[in-house]
Structure 1
């Protein structure tokens, strides 16, 4: 059997661990051959492929990014996209395609399976941890760790200068990274997309914090929005400016941006990504196309890709309320 592999969407710590596990088990236990497609869906669309064998995946477990490259290419937006993908899969004599990606990449896989019979198996990847069918996605733990370390470091400069430090983290639609890193880093305010914030309340928390011996840290997800306004591009910088204007306290903003995606994956992300890869190749062996591997408790299960991408997993209001005791 011959199997294709691609990584789509934003890069993410742990992608290489998935690729390694797929190839190692597929070659050693099943005798399969593998073809890697470059740059997400662009690879099967343009026929840009490379052989994958055990030497090709040796030593990649701790490496960030993806040896196959990635992109946000949408094959349904390309002329004759589905036809070209089917022709290129046939050209390489592939019996299945393992698609490693987030919501957009996996939605494409679901359509290809459901509407065109292309044999795909999905592996969930996103630092946002926002896919509803799995308890955790790899990349999230690494991103939270990076953000938490940054917050820890910023506490000292905030206190030294008695200024407000605003930390903007990733999370356009969900606030999981902000919530986890903010709580772990001892932030005094955490703002997430799921709960519109009251700017007056934020300033009150900031002012209250200055009554103690500590300076405040405000963690804001990039998609957080004020209660009485539209979405703000560059919400961290905007928030820092508003806090300084309204409170008279000096404020600085740090935007972590893509540093959260980069570098070596955490031990947990290597563990989870490896297990996902091992179970994904088993799904291909079983002909269980249209399924995505997912973590439920400590078990890896299979769920329909279409179910996994039907809705985002958002921060529960009750969970967000739990951390409110630390605000201000």
Structure 2
């Protein structure tokens, strides 16, 4: 009988997801003759028969340079904590039995889960229910352990760097302070790397609570030295000493993670009250998630897809593919989700940023 495997993409979208899907489909079909079932909209797709469809090499032709995911995704779908409406009220129930039954009914012998920490934790729970799973790490925040880098991150950093290049010229022309807010809930990798690449004067990240008075003093020193503009990069999860992250929305019941955003505007108000300068804010937002993936992310995503198929062939379930140096390897999913990969406040990256004259909020 023909072997049948499935693939889904969960969590937020990012550049390179289609490269992974293409890699899985082509590696499964070429020389192996396996069938691949694409599950649409993350784990929710298992609850709707029409969202489980066959993927052939013809279906993935031309998708390599496309952003997003042809399968769709969801960052709210969790079969172990699924919201349903009963008598006008939202209740959270466990529908994992239905998901496992659907997997068995489809004759799926292995499931490839492409996602970040949240999706891989759900995958781990399904493994405990007997589902053979191989994980592929995906997050533009680059905060997953056991992999040197995640696909999508390279493109996101380049997008933020391009924005900084443009903001520099307008900041200098109008003698302004320009604040660029980028993604990064708990890890500030995008802010730190794009800030260094884009010549930022101040970089604020979640791992180092910032002192707004120190930030203002650093900008004032630049003005006294004749540099009448400054560029600040701030991760959305950055927060002041003794303060909290800025939350836009936390409503929606138990299944919704709080939505961050607004720290750039908070910094604008605080700096505007103590500096005699015009302070403006640009929120990069979902521009970081969309668009054509870089060549790096296309190659890494493609190799991750091929490696996932190789692990299934070896029946090495419970593993997550990873980048180790220039090699594609694998590690236990348990090791990858035990905690987040955060920036060391006293590590080389931060020290080198400070050696370049960049103020990091302290």
TM-score normalised by the chain length of structure 2: 0.88
Structure 2 distance, partners of 1:298, 1:220, is 30
Partner of 2:307: 279
Partner of 1:322: 352
Cα offset for 1:230? 2.2
Residue 134 of structure 2 is aligned to residue 121 of structure 1:
yes
- Structure 2 portions without partners, runs of 5+: 83-92, 248-261
Q: State which of 94, 108, 112 in structure 1 corresponds to 2:122.
A: 108
Partner of 1:153: 166
Q: Which moved more, 1:224-233 or 1:11-20?
A: 224-233
Structure 2 distance, partners of 1:45, 1:282, is 28
Structure 2 distance, partners of 1:26, 1:230, is 47
TM-score normalised by the chain length of structure 1: 0.97
Partner of 2:60: 57
Partner of 1:185: 198
Partner of 1:175: 188
> Which has more helix, going by share of residues?
1
Partner of 2:143: 130
Residues 228-247 of structure 1 aligned to structure 2 (within 5 Å): 228-233=242-247, 234-247=262-275
Partner of 1:76: 80
Structure 2 distance, partners of 1:231, 1:170, is 13
Q: Which moved more, 1:314-323 or 1:102-111?
A: 314-323
CA RMSD of the aligned region, Å? 1.1
The answer to whether the 8 Å contact 1:205/1:327 transfers is: no
3-state DSSP of counterpart to 2:200: coil
Partner of 1:309: 337
Q: Which moved more, 1:242-251 or 1:154-163?
A: 242-251
Structure 1 distance, partners of 2:276, 2:172, is 16
Cα offset for 1:92? 1.2
Q: Runs of 4 or more off by more than 3 Å in structure 1?
A: none
- Structure 1 portions without partners, runs of 5+: none
Q: How many matched pairs?
A: 327
Structure 2 distance, partners of 1:301, 1:214, is 49
Cα offset for 1:214? 4.8
Structure 2 distance, partners of 1:61, 1:44, is 25
Q: Which moved more, 1:225-234 or 1:98-107?
A: 225-234
